[in-house]
Structure 1
């Protein structure tokens, strides 16, 4: 491995129609009992979505810098299935759901081996600098369709 990539941040991987992002649970993620604090899962979901977008070629950081347009979370739904604990090695598995002209729904689950710890659905909307929804770039819609596996219909 070259020196240039040795210190590169971890960036998950695409497997079939899913993005897989590994997470280890540290003290900062847990409550006094060593169980992952419920709100931390939203942070894990966010890291995985950010990475998934980057991995499929969506350069939302350049768009944000160029004209102030960005994705924002419009809705989040989580279902807690089992506790995760200090030291656990988990995987956030993300897949594209409904693709719309101004956003996308991402289905996400946190796994410990084959056990679902948390599952959720996050709807993100592309907004302009004024905060109003706007059409996301066509190339981004195409990128979502390419990894969606023909999931839910585009609308």
Structure 2
């Protein structure tokens, strides 16, 4: 379930066995999947369907760079919250700050830069105007 307001979105995620390593701790790379789901659901909530964007506008989003810090482990059956906010909208990029929390306790924190690319050439391309307008209205 996603909840959003003008500046932040939250997505609740249950940790399943498939998300963990042999010790029952969330495998570090799986946090990236949780963050991706949160960004995608937030865009969907805003009316930005990525599959439609690729077909209608010839645009796709790809992760350009990220910086992650892991503080505490999440474990099997935990219910975690992914908090997302947009920190910058560029000509062809969106910068997100995202946090994974359990009961308000910080588990992991990341800054992710997502770039808009031409779907056919996979080269940087300007954000479609409608997407830019929606995203710029979310910045603090």
Same fold (TM over 0.5): yes
Q: Give the TM interval when normalised to the shorter protein.
A: over 0.9
Uncovered stretches (5+) of structure 1, i.e. residues with no partner: 1-9, 150-155
Displacement of 1:88:
0.5
Using the TM superposition, give the Cα deviation of residue 146 of structure 1 relative to its aligned residue in structure 2, in angstroms.
Answer: 1.5
Pairs aligned (count): 139
Alignment correspondent of 1:138: 129
Structure 1 or 2, whichever has the larger Rg, is 1
Q: Distance in 1 between matches of 2:86 and 2:26?
A: 26
The 5 Å alignment of 1:8-23 reads 10=1, 12-23=2-13
Q: 1:148 maps to what in 2?
A: 139
| RMSD of Structure 2 on Structure 1 (CA) | 1.2
**Where does residue 111 of structure 1 map in the other structure?**
101
How far did residue 52 of structure 1 move? 0.8
Q: How does 1:115-130 map to 2 (within 5 A)?
A: 115-128=105-118, 129-130=120-121
Aligned with residue 30 of structure 2, among 25, 40, 43: 40
Say whether 1:69 aligns with 2:59.
Answer: yes
- Out of 83, 86, 99, the residue aligned to residue 73 of structure 2 is 83
1:60 aligns with 2:50: yes
> Following TM superposition, by how much is the alpha carbon of 1:122 offset from its aligned partner in structure 2, in angstroms?
0.8
- Where do 5+ consecutive residues of structure 2 fail to align? none
| 2:66 aligned with 1:94 | no
Partner Cα distance (1:108, 1:61) in 2: 23
Secondary structure of the equivalent of 1:130? coil
* Counterpart position of 1:6: none
Q: 1:117 to 1:126 in 2, by over 3 A?
A: same
> How far is 1:86 from its partner?
0.6
